[in-house]
Amino acid sequence: MVEVKLHDIGEGMTEGEIVSYLVKVGDPVQSDQPLVEVQTDKMTAELPSPTTGIVKEILVKEGTLVPVGTTILIIESGQTKHVQQEVTVSSNRNKVEKTNRMILAAPYTRKIARELGIDIEKINGTGPAGRITDEDVYNYGKKAVEPMAAPIKEVIKNAVESDEIPFKGRRKQIASLMSKSLFTIPHVTHFEEVDMTNLLDCKQQCKEDGINISVAAFFIKAIQLTLMKYPIFNSVLDEDHGVIRLKKEYNIGVAVDAEDGLIVPVIRNVEQKTVKTIHDEMKIAIEKAQNNTLTKADISNGTFTISNVGPLGGIGATPIINYPQTALISFHKTKKKPVVINDEIVIRSMMNLSMSFDHRVADGATAVRFTNEFVQLIENPTRMLLEMT
């Protein structure tokens, strides 16, 4: 017998929610076949089978939150020959309704199928190696829209009548991490105003030259350059060993407002990348976050986090640090305002930023110097280019 346990599939995770099983008792499974979907605070992931055999027992119910190390199900191993025979029989005969083929589909794709009430095993995948895509699920759903109409109406009816929202999954994990950060780290938030006019002009010029770069990509590069001068904010406090560990790599996390809750994919080794490369990688990371297809590698080892809430609005906030990092900067709405330059009133595009930092690690004066340096780079994009050489 082989016990399948919940192991650490995310950076420092301590628990996870059993979302759904991809097998049932009695099913033959192959080694590395996905067995169960697990929701952590940062992502939904599939746990693969460690062996070939037969599912003997499922020990944890769907929707249960369990700590790392919990035995989820048991597989009776040593059934390789039997499993191969069953697969052969199923593929050569039409006496059974379902085949024993491995269903290749991302967790988010499976979620779509569940929400639409579709049996994903009935769908033929058009992706690589027969992988089922989101589009495959939607196309299959269109063909079955009439039979599904009544169940969908009932789901909507129940949702409207209910005034309760389940507090579980990523939302519960986020709450746990935010509470840990807020009660562990003495937060201080520093506010600053940035003149975005020159940077927006630079962005527009790039667009006219056929190069589309988001403002956030410039922010990330400017943050990295500033961190090189103030490495204390690119650090982690190790209280157990009495040291502040200065990180040599600059891995910038980008907070993304995904459907299942806030998640922070990481752009790695920003110091080695151009603004255009940062933009391209960030675009991919955001799409994966919104499609719930981020991997452990995509969200691990961040050293500093930014939150660009400007497109949504808001003029200020007191952001909570992404524990165990030392600081986080939130960028807010940019709007045109009259400002005084050389004793003259001119219209400029102004933006507020909020920087929360760990007061155990750094002092307010250092944070002010940090934001002053960042502001100088944003307000003078040419200087940013010079700093990159």
Of 328, 348, 354, the residue nearest 336 (C-alpha): 348
DSSP conformation letters of 110-167: HHHHHHHT--GGGPPP-SGGGPBPHHHHHHHHHHTHHHHHHHHHHHHHHHHH------
Are 43 and 10 in contact, with CB atoms under 8 Å apart? Answer: yes
Exposure letters 41-69 (e unless 16+ CB within 10 A, then b): bbbbbbbebbbbbbbeebebeeeeebebe
Q: Which residues are catalytic?
A: 359
Of 304, 250, 254, the residue nearest 283 (C-alpha): 254
Are 321 and 328 in contact, with CB atoms under 8 Å apart? Answer: yes
Beta strands 65-67 and 256-258, pairing class = unpaired
Of 375, 240, 231, the residue nearest 304 (C-alpha): 231
Angstrom distance (rounded) from CA 21 to CA 264: 26
Are 110 and 119 in contact, with CB atoms under 8 Å apart? Answer: no
Are 344 and 207 in contact, with CB atoms under 8 Å apart? Answer: no
The CA-atom distances, in angstroms, between 361 and each of 185, 242, 364, 366, 373 are 10, 12, 10, 10, 19
Radius of gyration of the chain from Cα atoms? Answer: 25
